[in-house]
Structure 1
Amino acid sequence: MPDTLSRSTDRRAMPAPPRTNIIVTVLAFAGIVVALMQTLVIPLIPELPNLLDTTASNATWVITATLLAAAVATPVVGRLGDMYGKRRMLLISLLLLVAGSTIAALSSTLAPMVVGRIVQGLSAGVIPLGISIMRDELPTDRLGAATATMSASLGVGGALGLPTAAFIADHADWHVLFWTGAMLGVLAAVLVVRLVPESAVRSGGRFDTAGAAGLSAALVCLLLGISKGGTWGWTSGRTLGLLAAAIVVLLVWGWWELRTAEPLVDLRTSARAQVLFTNLASVAFGLSLFSMSLVLPQLLQLPAATGYGLGQSLLAVGLVMAPNGLVMMTVAPLSARISKAKGPKTTLMLGALVVAVGYGLNLVLMSQIWHLVLVSSIVGAGIGLAYGAMPTLVMGAVPVSETAAALSLNTLMRGIGVSVSSAVAGVVLAQMTTTIGSVAVPAENGFRVVMAIGAGTALLAFVCASFIPRQRPPVPAAPVPAAVLVAAEA
């Protein structure tokens, strides 16, 4: 292992090879493809009961199944990547995406569709794996910008996916959405095989099967209770039982991880202040980000008769939301420059403040389409800054051999925040309604409350980030006196 790391360090000190840009482009494209698949199903949600001949309640499993599979797969795939090769696990993830998309494309009933969506969800580890490959393969001076670009691919995929999916759904059979995802997955896999090298940095060891099973069980209980709580009732025995089981299993899992020699998640490393508070900030960011994804599309689509709805089509919603992801990608290089000059902690805190400002503006600017485009763009800028800084903070505090596992855990923390946020926002909008004709719709003040929660949780992310230890810049070496050099040469 020391020889491997030494070779890696020597290579990273060399000038950037011409293929660096190609590696970054291919990995970012893979991230965009995975993000696209999470978005492509959105236009189908209202029609799923009819398309799959099922009830509206059962149709929600098309979304829930992917959420649960992604939560389980992300930490497991990250650990396997550290052990057996990150490129190998990246390819497996992309092939799972292709397989899941194909199953969904061939589906006409609920059961095979849910199976396809589960298999698709297992590809969620692509972005942390891609960043881990970058850490192993790229020169140090390129890593910051590349990491920010890879992180931004999540937003770009979402931004492009919604208008693309809406257009396809309006002009073609809905199965085409999934065939498109399968073809893009094949293209990404081929590019990875041809252009991305496999890193020699591996941790080896034995896989923590018990730890993986325990964490998976805890996450399924937690996220299933959160995602279904609104349907089952938050005080129902099923919801409370799942949440209680999640707590108990997590405690037992933590006990096991601290005592096993080769844990799935190194909790001692995760408890380091830089990793811990970065992960806490990620949860808070996840809590914040769903506010925009939920509020803006509804404001755009609600009928103008409400007095605050804009009566737009789903395609228009996608076009309004698209600048969010494009701004994220544009801001990625700026995030890297700020992190290099001031440190990633500063970048993360700045990103949190920008997101809070965006939500604050939305409290008063929500009556025109350009208002929502502006808010979406500002929030996207804040996300771009923050997402570029989080992986840098995590990588700065963990060994190279644990990169993929640590980044996957950080991604998981953000996903848990999003899940909790969706539940909270759903409760708020369900309680604060108004009636248009005979139909109850979310009230304008309900949207404002959700946006205020988004601003508040963004400020919570700022507070969490403020506790991250500030990294000291390296002290430059003192110049060697000329007399010493002459003596050494003699």
Structure 2
Amino acid sequence: MEAQQSGGRTGAIVATLALAGTVAAIMQTLVTPLIAELPRILDTSSSNAAWVITVTLLVAGVCVPVTGRLGDLVGKRRMMLVCVVPLIIGSVVCALSSSVVPMIVGRGLQGMGMGMVPLGIALLRDVVAVEKLSSSIALVSASMGIGGAIGLPIAAAVAQYADWRVLFWGSAVLALAIGVLIFAVLPDVPAAAKGQRFDAPGAVGLAIGLVSLLLAISKGADWGWASGTTLGLFALAAVALVVWGLWEMRTRDPLIDLRTTVRPRVLLTNAASVLIGVGMYAFMLIAPQLLQFPEATGYGLGQSMLAAGLWIAPGGVMMMLISPLGGKLINTRGPKVALVCGALVIAVGYGAALPLMGTAWGIMVAGIVINSGVALAYGAMPALIMSSVPVAETAAANGFNTLMRSLGTTIGSAVIGVVLAQMTIGMGGVTIPSEDGFRTGLVIGCGVALLSAAVAALIPAMREAGGDQAADEEPAAADQAAARA
């Protein structure tokens, strides 16, 4: 069933998939240096300009599980090539934009391409030999974090020293290059769920529920958490997701097999993924502000956007270095142990950040530790998922797990945003987050990381989950090797 490749071919496949993940992450962080300038660039209000960021999150949330299921139905390589198209078109649209509406459209198109990463991780199960599977999964999974960390200083440098449109022209070229590599390097493996139908009603129901939920979480602070709009969206999300769940349980070929996702091994992995997402994003939100706030505050470090990005970048490099070690840990002790260790390392990083936040070196060290934990966790989660689901559901299950991580980052953004908005000081007639606000955010990050470690510790071993798995399909030998614990 698996078309495992030779050593050299495997290296090229893994490198291509890791590069695809890195490019996808760069797409997400692309506009970060432009946030303050977007209202002027697009001749619009700050609230309208914020949709340039929000729309990417919303579209990706809907498209990732859908493209994952389509990958199982028509082939993962084919769907990865499909994902490249909106990345290219969206980048070009953004580069040509002079107003907010086409920019939002372009960023939405870029969000459609984010399903490339879980598709690539799922493809590894089909083409990589057993002894290289864990390390390959770890590297490709960590590529999202790597791209986010190194993409920020690159984007900041381009935005500072060149026309902002260069960012999007560059992203179009990167997306085109990735498309060429995918076409030339990745094998065309037969679809695992070929012959099954696509669950269109399930896709629509999930889209309504996710858009309502993510929109309420991401915009609740702006609209007011008790406003009619926010509460209405939460209510619509609850109703839509319940109806969607009932449909998925009854339809023959569901978009996401909820019977699989409620198994303890999958359910707890996804729960830990949400918490890991919260923990990871807390530092990503806090560190750049601490680095860039003026020294006159008494706790800001007065760095430029470019310098701040450079201080954060070593964390991304560390993810790249730690990923192979994470793969070895998964092979020797199992992905559950790697996930617990990753969460604990993240907690240690937040603990170190509290006394070290007064220096740029201290923030860099804390970022290195936190990102090391993220690398371990990101490699373990797909390994746990893929060892617990049938082959025909690999891409869909990975897409759902990626969605859970994104949900975590959205929740983390909202929670830390509320904390920083409530704990403020006045300076020069402007209200800014206080030092206590940043410290509280770091404490929350540490606490969530510890909670994720506790949840991960409850994940049952493969032998305990075997009874459920056997009801659907005997696990493949590669999956047993990748999930010993």
Q: Assess same fold via TM > 0.5.
A: yes
Q: Which amino acid aligns with 2:82?
A: I
Find the partner of 2:227 among 231, 236, 257. 236
Equivalent residue, structure 1, for 2:461: 470
Equivalent residue, structure 2, for 1:135: 125
Contact 1:359 1:451 in 2 (8 A): yes
Q: How many residues were matched structurally?
A: 463
Structure 1 gaps, min length 5: 474-490
Equivalent residue, structure 1, for 2:436: 445
Deviations 1:76-106 (A, max 9, x none): 0000000001001101111110110010000
Shift of 1:401: 1.2
Equivalent residue, structure 1, for 2:54: 64
Find the partner of 2:19 among 4, 15, 29. 29
Equivalent residue, structure 2, for 1:164: 154
1:379 aligns with 2:367: no
Deviations 1:173-227 (A, max 9, x none): 1000000000000001001111111112420211000000000000000011111
Deviations 1:20-64 (A, max 9, x none): 101111111111111111111100000000000000111000001
Q: Which amino acid aligns with 2:32?
A: I
Q: Which amino acid aligns with 2:453?
A: F
CA distance in structure 2 between the partners assigned to 1:144 and 1:348 by the alignment: 13
Contact 1:201 1:400 in 2 (8 A): no
Contact 1:343 1:471 in 2 (8 A): no
| 1:196-275 aligned within 5 A | 196-204=186-194, 205-275=196-266
Equivalent residue, structure 1, for 2:472: none
Q: CA RMSD in A?
A: 1.1
Q: Which amino acid aligns with 2:331?
A: K
Find the partner of 1:99 among 89, 96, 100. 89
Shift of 1:16: 3.7
Deviations 1:379-407 (A, max 9, x none): 01000111111000001001111110000
Shift of 1:472: 5.0
Q: Which amino acid aligns with 1:109?
A: S
Q: Secondary structure at the match of 2:242?
A: helix
TM-score by length of 2: 0.94
Contact 1:338 1:344 in 2 (8 A): yes
Find the partner of 1:412 among 389, 403, 408. 403
Q: Secondary structure at the match of 2:37?
A: helix
Find the partner of 1:306 among 280, 293, 297. 297
Find the partner of 2:381 among 367, 373, 390. 390
1:113 aligns with 2:103: yes
CA distance in structure 1 between the partners assigned to 2:117 and 2:312 by the alignment: 21
Q: Which amino acid aligns with 2:440?
A: V
Q: Which amino acid aligns with 2:247?
A: W
Q: Secondary structure at the match of 1:337?
A: helix
Equivalent residue, structure 1, for 2:479: none
Contact 1:136 1:201 in 2 (8 A): no
Contact 1:99 1:182 in 2 (8 A): yes
Q: Secondary structure at the match of 1:346?
A: helix
Contact 2:56 2:107 in 1 (8 A): yes
1:38 aligns with 2:28: yes
CA distance in structure 1 between the partners assigned to 2:355 and 2:223 by the alignment: 35
CA distance in structure 1 between the partners assigned to 2:461 and 2:393 by the alignment: 22
Q: Secondary structure at the match of 2:256?
A: coil
Structure 2 gaps, min length 5: 465-485
What percentage of aligned pairs have identical amino acids?
53
Q: Which amino acid aligns with 1:124?
A: M
CA distance in structure 2 between the partners assigned to 1:230 and 1:66 by the alignment: 18
Find the partner of 1:51 among 38, 41, 57. 41
Q: Secondary structure at the match of 2:254?
A: coil
Q: Which amino acid aligns with 1:30?
A: A
CA distance in structure 2 between the partners assigned to 1:471 and 1:333 by the alignment: 23
Q: Secondary structure at the match of 2:22?
A: helix
Q: Secondary structure at the match of 2:233?
A: helix
Deviations 1:237-276 (A, max 9, x none): 0000000110111111100000000000000011111111
Find the partner of 2:139 among 149, 161, 184. 149
Shift of 1:346: 0.4
Q: Which amino acid aligns with 2:141?
A: S
CA distance in structure 1 between the partners assigned to 2:152 and 2:332 by the alignment: 35
Q: Secondary structure at the match of 1:19?
A: helix
Shift of 1:171: 1.2
1:363 aligns with 2:354: yes
Equivalent residue, structure 1, for 2:314: 323
Range 301-310 or range 417-426, more displaced: 417-426
Shift of 1:17: 3.8
Contact 1:227 1:423 in 2 (8 A): yes
Contact 2:276 2:408 in 1 (8 A): yes
User: Considering only CA atoms, is the larger Rg found in Structure 1 or Structure 2?
Assistant: 1
CA distance in structure 2 between the partners assigned to 1:193 and 1:259 by the alignment: 37
CA distance in structure 1 between the partners assigned to 2:396 and 2:89 by the alignment: 24
Shift of 1:152: 1.1
Contact 2:71 2:191 in 1 (8 A): no
Q: Secondary structure at the match of 1:262?
A: coil
Q: Which runs of 4+ in 1 moved over 3 A?
A: none
Q: Which amino acid aligns with 2:319?
A: M
